Amino acid sequence: MKAEINLRIAGLLENPEIEAIRVDVRTAFSVYRDEREKEVSTQRKAFEALGPDQVDEVGEPLRFTYAPDEEDAKNDEFHKSFKAREKVWRDAIALEQKDNYEKKKGFVTELDTLIKEEENIGKAFNTFNTLSEQWKEVGNVPGDQHTALNDEWHRLRDSFFYNINIYKQLADNDLKVNLKLKEALIERAKTLVEVTDLKEKEMLARSLQKQWLDIGPTPRDTYEEIGDLFFGLTRSALDKVKSHYDSLREGYKANFDAKQVIINTLRDILTRDLETPEVFTPAAEEVKALQQEWKTVGFAGRADDQKAWADFRGLCDSFFEKRNVAFADIRKEQKDNRDRKRELIKEATELGSSTDWKEASHQLIQLQKQWKDVGPAGREDQRLWREFRKVCDKFFKGKKNHFAEQDKAYEGNLKAKQVLIKEIEAYTLTGKHEDDLGALKVFSTRWNESGHVPRREFDKVVDRYRAALDVKYDALGANRSERSVDAYKQRAESLVTGAGSEQMAQKEERALRDKINRLQTHINQFENNMGFFTGKGAESMLADFQKKIDKEHREIEEIKRKLQMLRNARQKAETVEPSES
């Protein structure tokens, strides 16, 4: 920071016009002093942290001494150079003003001599006009001598018109004209009390005074009277303006003091251990609150307000530069997260137009899981989430509408199955086992060929169908396992179609495998228990265990056939365009 300020000062000092750069250079030196004070504070704290018992080589107590660096030496050199140049400039200005004073003082002397000694009217006027032109061309004089010198010049100028012989011959008419003009100015001066705008009041009063001085003399008997009246009116107006500005200056001082309190508070914040985002976040809120408070404090005068603002802005810039460094890693992480979320939106958008409902649904769900794993993306996080959700919602709404239309198409299949169930319920067995068994199998074939039904009706219509067939098979005495496997075909085909079919099929497969494991556990327990029964009377119990084992084996075989049937149905579904009921 100090090196940057020195570079700024070096650039300014390259300008040979000291008057053009002096305000900016002084401001830069002030900011540099603040930075140096921070380093002094830091070194002092480090020295005090070593303890109060530090001594030098001869045992004398050590006192804190600031150790300046290369930038400090460079800044001191710049300051020395600037002060020297500024002094030269000030001395030149003072010398010029002093010279101007001597010139104008000489003009006053010449005019006084002209009034007292010159009797040639033409020469007197020529000399007077020359002196007047020379007076106007000469620049400013020292401020503490301006009023007295200016008043003396105007007094002598008026005396010139009174005392010169030409005035005796020509002035009577001019004096009357001047009197009328000055009387008109007095009337205008009386209206100053009605002017409420102080800036306008000041400008008008000074303008009237200038016009008064430009008009010239009036008859001697009215000179003092109208002059006192006119200047009484204008000075009264200017006194009110001055009183207002004095009041403003008092307000400026109060505002400047208030701004210094804010600046000191900001300096205190910067002395804290500001290293991590966790520390910077509450500190940043304090700084922002100080910035808002600054806006409520009024103007502190041109010079003081500019200096206070430069100090305050420099401290704010220093704080936020430190915060930017502390938040750099977080912003990089948030940027990476934004980029990743934009990629997920792009992938979701590409999937959104797919009609492969099964695969696209699976991939979109995976993208949603990935989205949850991606961290925050800063200010754009909510906007990106709304964009991503909009793409997903659009796809799943389209999917829902698609299968709603599909369910409408399945209504006819439902009616056909309901008619078939009524036929099964109404079928009367002929007593010929093979014929009746064949008829029931035809019913099953027709059932399978009648197509899918809306998922909401699936369980109810299948339960009714199975119940109707079970009645007929029970009457025939057919094998329960054969019936169960034969009836499972419709369930297997239903599980691999429609929305969420893959998840349902996987769940069904896990349930069947779990049941096989349970049955195998039962068989192992039965076989283990059989080892405990020996001798007479054990045959019947062993035979009972064997029956249970055989029953569990038959059920395992039945489940295996169902698993094979489910695998076949899934493979078949994968070869055609997926659909959901």
Give the per-residue SS3 of 145-188.
HHHHHHHHHHHHHHHHHHHCHHHHHHHHHHHHHHHHHHHHHHHH
Task: Based on the fold, state whether residues 314 and 418 are members of the same structural domain.
Answer: no
pLDDT at position 529 over 80 = no
Q: Which two tokens stand for residue 524?
A: 């192992």
Task: Based on the fold, state whether residues 139 and 226 are members of the same structural domain.
Answer: no
Cβ 237 vs Cβ 192: under 8 Å: yes
d(CA 108, CA 492): 124
Model confidence at 207, in pLDDT bands (50, 70, 90)? Answer: very high
pLDDT at position 184 over 90 = yes
- Domain contains 110: yes
Q: Which two tokens stand for residue 513?
A: 């495998």
Q: What is the pLDDT averaged over residues 42-59?
A: 80
pLDDT at position 581 over 50 = no
Task: Based on the fold, state whether residues 342 and 408 are members of the same structural domain.
Answer: yes
Residue 187, pLDDT score: 92
- Domain contains 524: yes
d(CA 297, CA 255): 6
* Exposed / middle / buried, residue 293 (Cβ in 10 Å: 0-12, 13-18, 19+): middle
Cβ atoms within 10 Å, residue 258: 17
Q: Which two tokens stand for residue 119?
A: 């009797």
- Beta bridge partners of residue 55, listed in sequence order: 61
Q: Which two tokens stand for residue 315?
A: 């401290």
Which domain, by its residues, includes 23? 1-31+68-163
Q: Classify 196 as helix, strand or coil.
A: coil
Q: Classify 374 as helix, strand or coil.
A: coil
Domain count, the chain: 4
Please calculate the CA angle 557-563-567 and round it to the nearest 5 degrees.
Answer: 145
- Domain contains 485: no
Q: What is the pLDDT averaged over residues 58-65?
A: 80
Cα R_g (the chain), whole angstroms: 54
pLDDT at position 169 over 70 = no
CA 178 to chain centre: 69
pLDDT at position 171 over 60 = no
d(CA 230, CA 304): 37
Q: Classify 279 as helix, strand or coil.
A: helix
pLDDT at position 490 over 50 = yes
b/e code 117-128 from CB counts within 10 Å (16+ = b):
ebeeeeebeebb
Count CA within 13 A, CB hemisphere, residue 240. Answer: 18
Task: Based on the fold, state whether residues 177 and 155 are members of the same structural domain.
Answer: no
Rounded to whole angstroms, what are the CA distances from 411 to 399, 405, 407, 456? 19, 10, 7, 11
Residue 170, pLDDT score: 56
Task: Based on the fold, state whether residues 335 and 410 are members of the same structural domain.
Answer: yes
d(CA 496, CA 102): 113
Residue 203, pLDDT score: 92
Point out the least confidently predicted range of 124-133, 328-337, 492-501.
492-501
Task: Based on the fold, state whether residues 399 and 257 are members of the same structural domain.
Answer: no
Residue pLDDT, tens place only, 71-112: 889 899 989 988 898 888 888 888 888 888 888 889 889 888
- Beta bridge partners of residue 61, listed in sequence order: 55
d(CA 401, CA 407): 10
In this structure, the chain runs to a length of: 581
- Domain contains 54: no
Cβ 79 vs Cβ 30: under 8 Å: no
Task: Based on the fold, state whether residues 176 and 310 are members of the same structural domain.
Answer: yes
Taken in order 345, 346, 349, 355, is the CA torsion positive or negative?
A: negative
d(CA 167, CA 359): 115
Residue pLDDT, tens place only, 498-512: 666 777 778 888 888
- Domain contains 44: no
DSSP state of 531: T
Q: Classify 236 as helix, strand or coil.
A: helix
pLDDT at position 388 over 70 = yes
Task: Based on the fold, state whether residues 107 and 17 are members of the same structural domain.
Answer: yes
Task: Based on the fold, state whether residues 380 and 431 are members of the same structural domain.
Answer: yes
Q: Which two tokens stand for residue 33?
A: 């002093």
Model confidence at 542, in pLDDT bands (50, 70, 90)? Answer: low
What mean pLDDT value characterizes the chain? 82
d(CA 446, CA 374): 52
Last residue of a domain, one of 297, 318, 339: 318
Residue pLDDT, tens place only, 544-568: 777 778 788 888 888 888 888 888 8
Last residue of a domain, one of 121, 141, 163: 163
Which candidate, 177, 171, 147, 148, places its Cα nearest to that of 159? 171
Q: What is the pLDDT averaged over residues 253-282?
A: 83
pLDDT at position 154 over 90 = no
Point out the least confidently predicted range of 237-241, 414-418, 453-457.
453-457
Residue 578, pLDDT score: 40
Residue pLDDT, tens place only, 242-255: 888 788 778 888 88
- Domain contains 37: no
pLDDT at position 13 over 50 = yes
Point out the least confidently predicted range of 160-169, 368-377, 453-462.
160-169
CA 536 to chain centre: 92
d(CA 391, CA 235): 79
Residue 579, pLDDT score: 36
Residue 534, pLDDT score: 60
Residue 145, pLDDT score: 79
Model confidence at 285, in pLDDT bands (50, 70, 90)? Answer: confident
Cβ atoms within 10 Å, residue 24: 15
- Domain contains 448: yes
Task: Based on the fold, state whether residues 153 and 26 are members of the same structural domain.
Answer: yes
Model confidence at 479, in pLDDT bands (50, 70, 90)? Answer: low
- Domain contains 484: no
Q: Classify 55 as helix, strand or coil.
A: strand
Q: What is the pLDDT averaged over residues 148-158?
A: 86
For 290, residues 6+ apart whose C-beta sits below 8 A from its C-beta are 262, 265, 266
d(CA 261, CA 255): 10
pLDDT at position 259 over 60 = yes
Task: Based on the fold, state whether residues 530 and 567 are members of the same structural domain.
Answer: yes
pLDDT at position 165 over 60 = no
Task: Name the residue type at position 110.
Answer: E
Last residue of a domain, one of 412, 444, 478: 478
Task: Based on the fold, state whether residues 181 and 154 are members of the same structural domain.
Answer: no
d(CA 284, CA 149): 58
d(CA 415, CA 399): 25
d(CA 7, CA 438): 104
d(CA 186, CA 229): 7
Task: Name the residue type at position 6.
Answer: N
Between 75 and 480, where is the model more confident?
Answer: 75
Q: Which two tokens stand for residue 417?
A: 């199955």
